[in-house]
């Protein structure tokens, strides 16, 4: 019987016997070193949102000690006694709290500025927010999540990050085929898996593990790959990752895929130098499988992961045209009134459309989304209500302080910033006493949300569902 103690909660969990026996037989001499990694604490990481702040500037203002993660320039380890999720900079979207090994996936496939990328199983948004930072304003990201509840968390994280050019879908992989054959430069399959690599992080994952789960996950993974290969352009890259050790969900899934799809090949990538090679001997010996990457908790400062990057060598070149969404421009009058009243450059608000009563700024290129469950068509700006426009939280977080005419800028170490996040009223600066209308609330210059001021009074519009209770 092998027990692990969870350092955060103090809970002790017995690792499944079947899992221990399997790791012993797979790892042989290396097993002792591997199993000892459970005596150490897990690692804690955060990744800077480089679309809002440079790493250099972030390090100047973040009040806690950080240590660089070798494989991700914007990633840092923090100490477990630090609670970055409670700092106002988190609410302002300056970083994403992410397990350090998980940051390697996007680094491996290395999306470039302007790329068109699909993140097929995206919630809660770790990879998506990292991709968005890399492709920049000119790229296009389709961020998809099959589970509607998890898709909600995905939308929240995308909006907190202030990402504008992402379409969020709630679809099964199969239903994407009609719209996106040969459309993407890069596809990320961060697959659902048995989670063996996360045992040290989350006791729930140990409880749900079974040999049957490993088998059923490997079938799901193969099914997802069998759909997404069609979505890539010739020359495009497919990233496949799991947070589990079982060869059935890793090398064996990749080998089966390569056998069926000779137009794909595994490639070496720059970050592989930090990690261990894949294990051909855990499949049928195909030496190419050593190009996969294994992230072992006894070899690196991070949890267990598997990553493979494959290139599509051949396929049809399909041309896509930009879709327009017909919009009733007369209804946009209230939105433009808002822009004139609140923004320094209202004329910058172009490519605007209305879907139902929601106002969006569309990405530069819009694919055909007919028949798909679309949760976001790009930057969600707000809602048209009877005779007025109400700006969204997503609009606030996608703006910069310099974009708005009125701003209440709070200090990150002030009680007022916490009061704002609690949903309470706060004092307004003298310069705004005689002003009225929607105003941005910032922390050290970074948007947190909206308030409305009138006659010297402050009305808090921080979303109810996000308010803090400490």
Ligand X SMILES: C[S@@+](CC[C@H](N)C(=O)[O-])C[C@H]1O[C@@H](n2cnc3c(N)ncnc32)[C@H](O)[C@@H]1O
Tell me whether residue 465 is exposed, middle or buried, using C-beta atoms within 10 angstroms of its C-beta: 0 to 12, 13 to 18, 19 or more: exposed
Q: Which residues are catalytic?
A: 243
Task: Considering only the stretches 21-29, 57-65, 139-147, 424-432, report the one whose residues sit in contact with ligand X under the rule CB under 6 A.
Answer: 139-147
* 276 is known to lie in a ligand binding site: no
Pairing type for strands 264-266 and 232-242 reads: unpaired
Tell me whether residue 152 is exposed, middle or buried, using C-beta atoms within 10 angstroms of its C-beta: 0 to 12, 13 to 18, 19 or more: middle
Alpha carbon distance 190, 53 (integer Å): 26
Alpha carbon distance 27, 4 (integer Å): 19
173 lies in the binding site for ligand X (CB under 6 A): yes
For residues 378 to 417, the per-residue mask of contacts with ligand X, x marking binding by CB under 6 A and - elsewhere, is ----------------------------------------
145 lies in the binding site for ligand X (CB under 6 A): yes
Using CB under 6 A, pick the residue from 22, 52, 127, 291 that binds ligand X.
127
Residue 466, C-beta contacts closer than 8 angstroms, at least 6 positions apart:
91, 156, 393, 421
Task: Considering only the stretches 69-77, 118-126, 405-413, 417-425, report the one whose residues sit in contact with ligand X under the rule CB under 6 A.
Answer: 118-126
125 lies in the binding site for ligand X (CB under 6 A): yes
Closest CA to 314 of 254, 224, 230, 239: 230
Using CB under 6 A, pick the residue from 123, 206, 359, 396 that binds ligand X.
123
190 lies in the binding site for ligand X (CB under 6 A): yes
* 18 is known to lie in a ligand binding site: no
192 lies in the binding site for ligand X (CB under 6 A): yes
Under a CB-based contact definition with an 8 Å cutoff, are residues 449 and 420 in contact?
yes
Interface size with ligand X, residues (CB under 6 A): 17
Cβ proximity to ligand X: between 248 and 390 the closer is 248
Q: Tell me the residue ranges of DSSP E strands in 162-288.
A: 166-169, 184-190, 232-242, 264-266, 276-277
Under a CB-based contact definition with an 8 Å cutoff, are residues 175 and 363 in contact?
no
329 lies in the binding site for ligand X (CB under 6 A): no
Helices (H) and strands (E) in the chain, counts: 14, 24
Alpha carbon distance 223, 214 (integer Å): 14
Using CB under 6 A, pick the residue from 124, 197, 363, 449 that binds ligand X.
124
Cβ proximity to ligand X: between 205 and 300 the closer is 205
* 122 is known to lie in a ligand binding site: yes
121 lies in the binding site for ligand X (CB under 6 A): yes
Using CB under 6 A, pick the residue from 150, 400, 452, 467 that binds ligand X.
150
Residue 264, C-beta contacts closer than 8 angstroms, at least 6 positions apart:
229, 238, 257, 258, 310, 311, 312, 313
Task: Considering only the stretches 141-149, 207-215, 395-403, 458-466, report the one whose residues sit in contact with ligand X under the rule CB under 6 A.
Answer: 141-149
For residues 206 to 225, the per-residue mask of contacts with ligand X, x marking binding by CB under 6 A and - elsewhere, is --------------x---x-
126 lies in the binding site for ligand X (CB under 6 A): yes
Task: Considering only the stretches 122-130, 310-318, 324-332, 433-441, report the one whose residues sit in contact with ligand X under the rule CB under 6 A.
Answer: 122-130
Angle between helices 211-228 and 251-260 (to 10 degrees): 30
Under a CB-based contact definition with an 8 Å cutoff, are residues 142 and 376 in contact?
no
Q: What angle is formed at CA 168 by the lines to CA 163 and CA 172, rounded to 5 degrees? A: 150
To ligand X, the closest distance from the beta carbon of 131 in angstroms equals 10
Using CB under 6 A, pick the residue from 66, 118, 122, 155 that binds ligand X.
122
Beta-carbon neighbour count of residue 268 at 10 Å? Answer: 11
* 121 is known to lie in a ligand binding site: yes
Cβ proximity to ligand X: between 155 and 410 the closer is 155
To ligand X, the closest distance from the beta carbon of 174 in angstroms equals 9
Using CB under 6 A, pick the residue from 147, 210, 216, 351 that binds ligand X.
147
Annotated binding site for S-adenosyl-L-methionine: 121-127, 145, 190
Interacting residue ranges for ligand X, rule: CB under 6 A: 120-127, 145-147, 150, 173, 190, 192, 220, 224
Provide the annotated binding site. Answer: 121-127, 145, 190
């Amino acid at each position: 019987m092998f027990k692990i103690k969870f350092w955060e909660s103090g809970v002790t969990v017995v690792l499944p016997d079947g899992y221990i026996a399997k790791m012993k037989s797979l790892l042989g001499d290396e097993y002792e070193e591997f199993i000892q990694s459970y005596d150490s604490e897990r690692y804690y990481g955060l990744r800077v949102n480089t679309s809002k702040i440079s790493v250099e500037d972030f390090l100047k203002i973040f009040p806690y000690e950080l240590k660089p993660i070798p494989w991700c320039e914007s990633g840092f380890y923090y100490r477990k006694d630090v609670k970055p999720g409670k700092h106002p900079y988190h609410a302002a979207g300056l970083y994403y709290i992410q397990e350090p090994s998980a940051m390697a996936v996007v680094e491996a496939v290395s999306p470039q500025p302007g790329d068109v990328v699909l993140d097929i199983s995206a919630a809660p948004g770790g990879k998506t927010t990292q991709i968005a930072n890399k492709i920049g304003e000119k790229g296009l990201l389709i961020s998809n999540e099959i589970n509607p509840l998890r898709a909600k968390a995905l939308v929240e994280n995308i909006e907190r990050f202030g990402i504008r050019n992402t379409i969020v879908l709630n679809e099964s992989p199969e239903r994407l085929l009609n719209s996106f054959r040969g459309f993407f430069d890069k596809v990320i399959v961060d697959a659902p898996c048995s989670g063996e690599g996360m045992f040290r992080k989350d006791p729930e994952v140990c409880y749900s593990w079974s040999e049957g789960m490993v088998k059923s996950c490997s079938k799901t993974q193969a099914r997802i790959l069998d759909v997404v290969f069609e979505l890539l352009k010739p020359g495009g890259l497919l990233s496949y990752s799991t947070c589990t050790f079982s060869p059935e969900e890793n090398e064996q899934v990749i080998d089966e895929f390569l056998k069926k799809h000779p137009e794909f090949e595994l490639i070496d990538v720059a970050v592989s130098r930090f990690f261990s090679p894949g294990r051909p001997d855990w499949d049928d010996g195909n030496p190419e499988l050593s190009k996969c990457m294994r992230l072992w908790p006894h070899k690196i400062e991070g949890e267990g992961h598997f990553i493979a990057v494959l290139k599509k060598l051949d396929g049809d070149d399909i041309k896509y045209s930009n879709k327009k969404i017909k919009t009733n421009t007369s209804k946009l009058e209230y939105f433009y009134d808002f822009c004139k009243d609140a923004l320094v450059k209202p004329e910058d608000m172009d490519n605007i459309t209305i879907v139902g009563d929601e106002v969006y700024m569309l990405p530069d290129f819009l694919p055909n989304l007919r028949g798909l469950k679309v949760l976001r068509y790009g930057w969600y700006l707000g809602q048209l209500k009877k005779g007025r426009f109400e700006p969204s939280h997503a609009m606030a977080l996608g703006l910069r302080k310099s974009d708005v005419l009125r701003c209440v800028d709070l200090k990150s170490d002030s009680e007022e910033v916490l009061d704002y996040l609690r949903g309470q009223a706060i004092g307004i600066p003298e310069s705004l006493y005689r002003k009225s209308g929607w105003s941005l609330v910032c922390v050290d210059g970074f948007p947190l949300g909206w308030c409305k001021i009138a006659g010297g009074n402050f009305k808090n519009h921080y979303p109810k569902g996000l308010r803090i209770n400490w």
